[in-house]
Structure 1
């Protein structure tokens, strides 16, 4: 498997991909999405983006009415300036949807970091990393990847042809428990191998 990008690189890459794929924000807004990803610690993108839209000078009620949003909605002039013509169809959610797509890349990156450590710590265990498509809104391209092996780049970014808004899939590990069992059988005999296998399964089984 390829080496994983660092935090700064994956945030910038995720932000750029989301902005380009969705087209809800202008290209320059990728820097904003990257910064918002730094604030993403389990908090839903809706909350993160609401906080962002509250910052700075707000549109007047007349200006809000002119673009079709309610008077009590928050939308700063700075945030408005980042929204593309396509994003103006739903200006309140333009940043949120873009951040949500980018956040799935960060989610997969965290999965990959965990599995990379597992593979490094246990090089003798055959471990395959697979796509885990868990959301019913996934497009047919992404859905078709479920339980298939990810490529060397870890599948961090949505595949070519993806039409999802958010590419809502993760990664999972598949461990071949038979290989260490066979190796143990050859070395110490079947009885000890069974005990060894139990320990291996216990290690990889969540509490």
Structure 2
């Protein structure tokens, strides 16, 4: 089970890269990120915004959000000026980016019980000029990163890695060993 400390690198990267959440909120975002392992970041962010003293309807109007939206003073206080431009999505997007990175890290840390195993890039969208050209290309497990690729245009990069096991290579090596 993940803890806040193990989630901190993912929270810190998302906060730094997106600029929606103020630096110094990494611990709080890390704690929320633990909930994102089993719940969608939108639900976690909404629940966070729901708790605590709510801003007034006039303050909501000034932020450009609907009167019935949940937005606590604590949630507003953690947002940067960039985050205030999209206050309902800022925390959600930050959590989504961080949880994708966490999922990639878990995949990379999972032992693969085969000698001839590699990781392949598995981007879900053709539109990304950084991720798609790597589609199905092999990458050494030690060289793979859990963080979004440089140049990916998505704020929350959904790139995944899939395990590739070269069964033929393993059989060839076994056959050569018998000679």
Q: 1:100 aligns with which of 96, 100, 125?
A: 96
Measured against aligned partners, the alpha-carbon deviations of 1:128-158 in whole angstroms (never above 9, x if no partner) come to 1121111356x31122222223352432112
- Tell me, what secondary structure is at the counterpart of 1:130? strand
Say whether residues 1:144 and 2:95 are aligned partners.
no
Q: Radius of gyration: which is bigger?
A: 1
With normalisation by structure 2, the TM-score equals 0.88
1:8–1:70 distance in 2 versus 1, CA, 3 Å? closer
Q: Structure 2: how far apart are the matches of 1:39 and 1:130?
A: 28
C-alpha distance in structure 1 between counterparts of 2:6 and 2:159, whole Å: 17
User: Is residue 67 from structure 1 mapped to residue 63 from structure 2 by the alignment?
Assistant: yes
Report the alpha carbon displacement of residue 113 of structure 1 after superposing the two structures with TM.
2.5
Question: CA 1:55–1:150 in 2, change beyond 3 Å: closer, same or farther?
Answer: farther
Q: Following superposition of structure 1 onto structure 2, how do residues 125-140 of structure 1 map, counting pairs within 5 Å?
A: 125-136=115-126, 139-140=128-129
Question: What is the distance in 1 between the residues matched to 2:94 and 2:28?
Answer: 11
Query: Aligned-pair RMSD on alpha carbons?
Result: 2.2
Check if 1:162 corresponds to 2:158.
no
State the number of aligned residues: 177
Residue 66 of structure 1, CA deviation: 1.6
Cα distance change on mapping 1:73 and 1:110 into 2, 3 Å:
same
More moved, 73-82 vs 55-64 = 55-64
Partners in 1 of 2:126 and 2:67 — Cα distance?
34
Unaligned runs of 5+ in 2: none
Matched residues in 2 for 1:163 and 1:106: separation? Answer: 19
Structure-2 residue corresponding to 1:91 = 87
> Displacement of 1:159 after TM fit?
2.4
Tell me: CA distance 1:150–1:180, structure 2 relative to 1, closer, same or farther (3 Å). closer
Q: Secondary structure at the match of 2:157?
A: coil
> Judging changes above 3 Å, is the alpha-carbon distance between structure 1 residues 86 and 142 closer, same or farther for their aligned structure 2 residues?
same
String of CA shifts for 1:40-77, please: whole Å, max 9, x gaps.
Answer: 23311000110011111110112111211111100110
Change (3 A) 1:25 1:71: same
1:23 aligns with 19
